[in-house]
Copies of this chain bind each other. A is one copy, B any other.
């Protein structure tokens, strides 16, 4: 693997504290790959050959049953996915595909298991990362089960507002992908944007203007136990 990639991975919390020999061993059979949007990365029920680390872009975790399909979570940099399957050596529960152009590191699961058994700093970092993944999926499930699609969109816009620090901003993805991300159809997203007009949201193409932040916040009722991705 290229040295600059190696350093980039070394700086991730998950790998930052481990012994250097072990890190080099872990990197030996690892590699980084670029993927275009909408490329399937893994299929549910496959054995966990590689631990995946999203370095840039974003990845959709989804699942299918009986001809139906549903999006389960979105992974953004810098974060891993299928860590749970990797450490337990059990088949993936979800499939994964890129949402946008993405750079992803692939680390052999076998090496992860071998090294985490002997490197306690690495084991501790895995505990943190797994706990973080667990909490993310719980928050996502709460967002989906407790809120209507209109409320989910309102909270999404508030998060974007906070992220950019601006009352006007552009959507970072196509509306159809945003719809999927928010767990609704694109038809419904269209109607939802209309539905937020009374709360001071103005939409022109993919440009958003929040005319009345107070109104929107009062409607959205953001909550750190759902919307704060950092804790």
Contacts and interface: CB of A to CB of B under 8 A. Distances in A.
A133 interface: yes
A139 B90 CA distance: 13
Main secondary structure of the interface of A (DSSP, over half): helix
A200 B198 CA distance: 51
A33 interface: no
Interface in A114-150: 116-117, 120, 123-124, 126-128, 130-135, 137-139, 141-142, 144-147
Interface stretch (A51-59, A156-164, A221-229): A221-229
Interface residues of A, number: 46
Given A88-B128, A124-B117, A137-B138, A145 B70 contact: yes
A66 interface: yes
A144 to B, nearest CB: 8
A110 interface: no
A68 interface: yes
A49 interface: no
A135 B65 contact: no
Given A88-B128, A120-B120, A123-B127, 4 more contacts: A45-B225, A87-B128, A87-B131, A116-B127
20 contacts: A44-B225, A64-B146, A65-B142, A65-B146, A66-B221, A68-B146, A70-B142, A84-B131, A88-B128, A88-B131, A91-B231, A93-B138, A93-B142, A94-B138, A117-B124, A123-B127, A130-B134, A137-B137, A141-B141, A144-B145
